[in-house]
Amino acid sequence: MKNYCRKGAANIGAVILTVTNNSGGGQPVSMENAKAVADICRKNKVLFVIDCCRVAENSYYIHHNEAGYENKTYRQIAEEMMCLGDAAVMSAKKDALVNMGGFLAVKDADLAESCKQLLIITEGFATYGGLAGRDMEAIAVGLQEVFDPGYLNYRIVSTRYLGENIKSKGVNIIYPVGGHAVYVDAKSLYPHIPPHEYPGQALVCELYRIGGLRSVEIGSVMFGKYDSNGKLIPAPMELVRLAVPRRVYTQSHIDYVIEIFDEIVRTKDKVKGLKIVKEPQFLRHFTAHFEPL
């Protein structure tokens, strides 16, 4: 808020609210908070954009935890939240239950027209560019099916089960467990590995080496920066995200992941850090190369 007051509304292109919060442990956003952000944006004439890639999961938490929404369906809750925004973006790989695609939606007709004109240059006209028709049809179906109470309950309960069992082994996680993933605190698991040796990335490698599990670091590889002397300014947290793919994992798969953490805990004192040997200028967490120390 201090930064907002210093810069002023004229210097803010948009405010983006992500539901659920991916890099913050998959935690939900309450309707009360969403309304408060929308009010601030409206009063200051700042574009309010909702990143709604997991809006169905977010609606699940509002239904079960926020007063006044216990009698509303997940879809009704999502519709109410979406009405707060001036625009919305979605990676459909999440709560649209598809393998590819997404969308941008805006209320302002002039802005929408500008986006369509840019689309012609980058992907083609709105009726033939971008996604194939079959993919758009899959998104339309996925956005209906994702609000099924049975589906949402199974997914949320499975993720919670994974997190609770990992936590029971003495492994610190972001708690309570969020919607789509379990976030493991690699800094506390590997206290002997300093941030500049990337404890999160070390855990990512161990999970794959021991159990063939694909995960992602959300720590100093992703968010760390260099000062003027080339020294790493570490991220606030060194996390590893165990995202649960939709409609893929069964109970036995989840139990297998839990079993792998027995070996992770048993060998934690022997794990060493990593060094970056190659990295791009931007978004290094996608393509950086590492070597063990």
Q: What is the pLDDT of residue 249?
A: 83
Mean pLDDT along residues 222-244:
93
For residue 193, the tally of other CB atoms under 10 A from its CB is 23
Q: Is residue 4 pLDDT above 90, yes or no?
A: no
Tokens describing residue 113: 């027209």
Which residue spans of the chain are classified as CATH 3.40.640.10?
Answer: 2-145
Q: What is the pLDDT of residue 212?
A: 97
Q: What is the pLDDT of residue 86?
A: 97
- Over the stretch 141-193, which tens digit does the pLDDT of each residue have? 999 999 999 999 999 999 999 999 999 999 999 999 988 899 999 999 999 99
Q: What is the pLDDT of residue 141?
A: 95
Q: What is the pLDDT of residue 5?
A: 58
Q: Determine if the pTM surpasses 0.75.
A: yes
Q: Are 183 and 160 in contact (CB under 8 A)?
A: no
Which residue spans of the chain are classified as CATH 3.90.1150.10?
Answer: 149-292
Q: What is the pLDDT of residue 87?
A: 97
- Over the stretch 91-133, which tens digit does the pLDDT of each residue have? 999 999 998 889 999 999 999 999 989 988 888 887 777 788 8
Please identify, in words, the CATH class of the domain defined by 2-145.
alpha beta
Q: Are 28 and 19 in contact (CB under 8 A)?
A: yes
First and final C-alpha spacing in the chain: 41
Q: What percent of the chain has pLDDT over 70?
A: 98
Nearest to 77 by CA among 95, 90, 64, 59: 59
Give the architecture-level CATH label for domain 149-292: Alpha-Beta Complex (3.90)
Average pLDDT over the chain, rounded to whole? 93
Work out the angle at residue 240's Cα, subtended by the Cα atoms of residues 235 and 244, and round it to the nearest 5 degrees: 140
